[in-house]
Amino acid sequence: MMHSLAVCLWVAACFTWTSAIYHPHRQAVHKKLRYLLEPPVYPEVSAQRGANTTLPCLLRLKPPRYKVKWTKLEAPRLGVENIILITNGHDQRGYGSLGPRASLRRAHTLDASLRIANLSLEDDGRYRCELVNGLEDESVTITLRIEGVVFPYQSRNGRYRLNFQEAKDACEGQDARLATYPQLYRAWTEGLDWCNAGWLDDGTVHYPIIQPREPCGGKLLLPGIRSYGPKDKAGERFDAFCFTSSSAGQVFFVGGRLSYTEAVKACGVQGAKIAQVGHLYAAWRFSGLDRCDGGWLEDGSVRFPIATPRQHCGGLPEPGVRSFGFPDKALHTYGVYCYR
């Protein structure tokens, strides 16, 4: 790989440094709170897509007049806050796309915790509970982590064919979204090793390496997240790292020697549709789907999920979703993975 790569090496120090870059809202010093309860050192709530969850925020004392404002901390866009909900302790009002799914828990009179229903992939991120009280405003920050899986994705036309918007669209077309840096980092700690660089949701490009090797930056570099940094979103092309989570549906296999068109019809006969790549990864990760048979997916690729590696099922020692690429839809025949 190019010598000019900015390389993130073994991770404790690197992740701290990178997090400071990609998370400008992080507070370096947390002042002592008077009205709000101090959260744990690293407050994090985990949940799966489709579930309901609560982000804790509790008052020690109630000022005579106050408001509590919940916001989602994202990259600033023209100085506009992403407000979710505001309450004065009696009434509440929701805002934005999250507002209709947000409410206060109100387990007791000092409870300002935020409940979010029917979690989506986009809900992953950092949230701030702010007590607005004249000159004594104070806040706590909670991270909501959507449990999921990151998978690399490339165009059917080959490696490095996607600009940023195309990568974003490709992930969304496969029941996923472009991964964030923390999601890619977490996937790396769980074993993701991939040599091709891919877009992340902030317009930066990275790839995770566990086993250093010559085609992937060289053997002398330590394992880690290799970074190309921010790239021209319109003019430069890479692959994508997509993120998906569990879904309410079921993925199942229909066998046979089927062309792509026949595969689509076979799923329809079962009252289902042909599965997307994100569906298959979610079924592999959350339901333990394990099958040696290659099957068509909606994007025209052929893949199969392996939860228990064995020699005659791809030969690789790690669990994963194996790919046959994008065979000719008319000339090649496989089974199909359906989603219902």
- 39: domain CATH number? 2.60.40.10
Tell me how far apart the alpha carbons of residues 18 and 226 are, in angstroms, rounded to a whole number.
11
pLDDT of 152 reads: 98
Residues 165 and 133 in one domain: no
Tell me how far apart the alpha carbons of residues 275 and 279 are, in angstroms, rounded to a whole number.
6
pLDDT of 340 reads: 97
Residues 260 and 212 in one domain: no
pLDDT tens sequence across 228-263: 999 999 999 999 999 999 988 999 999 999 999 999
* Cα diameter, the chain: 74
Q: Average pLDDT for residues 96-119, to the nearest whole number? A: 95
Three-state DSSP class for residue 20:
helix
Ramachandran area for residue 78 (φ above 0: left; ψ -120 to 50: alpha; else beta): left
Q: Is the pLDDT of residue 11 over 50?
A: no
Q: Which residue has the tokens 């994007």?
A: 299
Q: Is the pLDDT of residue 20 over 50?
A: no
Radius of gyration over every alpha carbon of the chain, rounded to an integer in angstroms: 23
Q: Which two tokens stand for residue 200?
A: 């992340």
**Domain end (from 245, 263, 279):** 245
Q: Is the pLDDT of residue 28 over 70?
A: no
The pTM of the full predicted model, rounded to 2 decimals, is 0.84
Ramachandran area for residue 333 (φ above 0: left; ψ -120 to 50: alpha; else beta): beta
Residues 67 and 99 in one domain: yes
Considering the domain boundaries, does residue 1 fall inside one?
A: no
Q: Average pLDDT for residues 51-74, to the nearest whole number? A: 93
User: How many folded domains does the chain comprise?
Assistant: 3
Residues 67 and 16 in one domain: no
**Domain end (from 218, 245, 272):** 245
Tell me how far apart the alpha carbons of residues 20 and 305 are, in angstroms, rounded to a whole number.
36
What secondary structure letter does DSSP report for 298? T
Q: Where residue 89 falls among pLDDT bands split at 50, 70, 90?
A: confident
pLDDT of 40 reads: 76
Q: Is the pLDDT of residue 191 over 80?
A: yes
pLDDT tens sequence across 126-172: 999 999 987 778 999 999 999 999 999 999 999 999 999 999 999 99
Q: Where residue 176 falls among pLDDT bands split at 50, 70, 90?
A: very high
- Kindly report the CATH number assigned to the domain that includes residue 285: 3.10.100.10
Q: Is the pLDDT of residue 23 over 90?
A: no
Considering the domain boundaries, does residue 99 fall inside one?
A: yes
- What angle do helix axes 11-22 and 181-189 make, rounded to 10 degrees? 160
**Domain end (from 125, 145, 165):** 145
Residues 266 and 328 in one domain: yes
pLDDT of 74 reads: 81
Considering the domain boundaries, does residue 25 fall inside one?
A: no
Residues 191 and 140 in one domain: no
The share of the chain scoring above pLDDT 70, in percent, equals: 89
Three-state DSSP class for residue 12:
helix
Residues 165 and 213 in one domain: yes
Residues 192 and 208 in one domain: yes
Q: Average pLDDT for residues 328-335, to the nearest whole number? A: 97
pLDDT of 161 reads: 98
42 with 146: CB under 8 angstroms?
no
Q: Is the pLDDT of residue 184 over 50?
A: yes
Considering the domain boundaries, does residue 26 fall inside one?
A: no
Burial grade of 52 (CB within 10 A; 0-12, 13-18, 19 or more): exposed
Q: Is the pLDDT of residue 101 over 60?
A: yes
What is the residue range of 303's domain?
A: 251-339
Residues 231 and 265 in one domain: no
Q: Average pLDDT for residues 186-206, to the nearest whole number? A: 97
pLDDT tens sequence across 201-221: 999 999 999 999 998 988 888
